[in-house]
Amino acid sequence: MADKDELPLFGDEYVLLNDATNALLDLRLDAALVFLSNYRDLYKKNKDVEEKLAIVGFLQEQLAPEPPPGPDRVRFLFRVWRSFESFCNELTYNRAIADKMRPSYFQRMAEVMKASALTDSFFLADNIPAGYVYIQTGNYDEAIRSLRTCLLSVRDNAAVFGYLGDAYLARGNKKTGRVFYFEACLISPCSVDWQNNRDEELRKLRESLPGEYGWTPSISCEWLPACAYIRGLFEPKAIRTTEEIDSFKERYLKLQQAFRKDPSSAVLAARIFTMGIVLCDNEPFLRGLDFAGVRENMKSASAALFEEYTKEIDRQKK
């Protein structure tokens, strides 16, 4: 520990504490430990400082066995971060410190990724792509580039589409962001990271659905895209290419077969309703489908929501 007489700004309580906090936010853990320890020695006992010392101790202990550069180090750093978030949730005075430290911590991860020459298709954990790191650092252009590249190899990953929506929304492109959220929902709405989703209106809608309709949280998640469309948060999805038309029709017919076998399934009901919305929006471009049957499936899935849907369609036509 540095000698007290050598401390910069000796005697200035608030500047010393500010230096300690800045060092912590910059992940200069050794410096933060020195500042905080000397503050504790110089001034009266402070519960905020004791918590910050606990934070420094937690991070030093967790980061001590850091692996050599490479994929293992990146995944290790991500696991430590998740543990750190949980640790901060139990704090009294510094619960928000994880959000303040996030850019510095993930910048460190980005530098390890670059040094390790990891590709954009690299995943930090299940459904957490490399592009997620750039979102956390605030480098949204790089996040969009990385996530778009990732989709070339994992085309049906709802989480990647969801994070791409986050990146566009954070960059100020809400309309484009919601296009990607809708794409994610058409694959698997419950695979989207809603807990960290950047769209406040979508998050609030998801949280309100159990109370409005009596659904469980998981079923509410399945119905979210249909409800978001009906309430104007999602715009119509255009299907134009032959490949996309054929793929969407094939998915729908398989889903219809499953729904007819098990019409009591809330998950199948929500998904056939949502896909029905997209099909009806593209009816002029789709041949060979029984659209009366599509609408009947939607009504069978939820008569109440089908009524809301038809009212929204009438409103759009005016």
Helices (H), 65-173: 71-89, 97-115, 131-137, 140-151, 158-170
Q: What are the Cα distances from residue 285, in Å, to 243, 249, 268?
A: 13, 11, 25
Candidates 189, 198, 191, 195; CA nearest to 207 is 195
Q: What are the phi and psi torsion angles at 124 (to 5°)? A: -70, -35
pTM over 0.85: yes
Inter-residue contact 104 to 26 (CB < 8 Å): yes
User: Domain ranges in the chain?
Assistant: 1-116, 119-191, 207-318
147, 253, 279 from 119: Cα distances, Å: 11, 36, 36
Count of CA atoms in the C-beta half-sphere (13 A) of 122: 21
CATH, range 119-191: 1.25.40.10
Backbone angles phi, psi at 270, to 5 degrees: -65, -40
Q: What is the pLDDT along the chain (318 residues), one digit of tens a residue?
A: 344 444 444 447 888 889 999 999 999 999 999 999 999 988 877 899 999 999 999 999 999 999 999 999 999 999 999 999 999 999 999 999 999 999 999 999 999 999 999 999 999 999 999 999 999 999 999 999 999 999 999 989 999 999 999 999 999 999 999 999 999 999 999 999 998 899 999 999 999 999 999 999 999 999 999 999 999 999 999 988 888 888 999 999 999 999 999 999 999 999 999 999 999 999 988 888 899 999 999 999 999 999 999 998 888 777
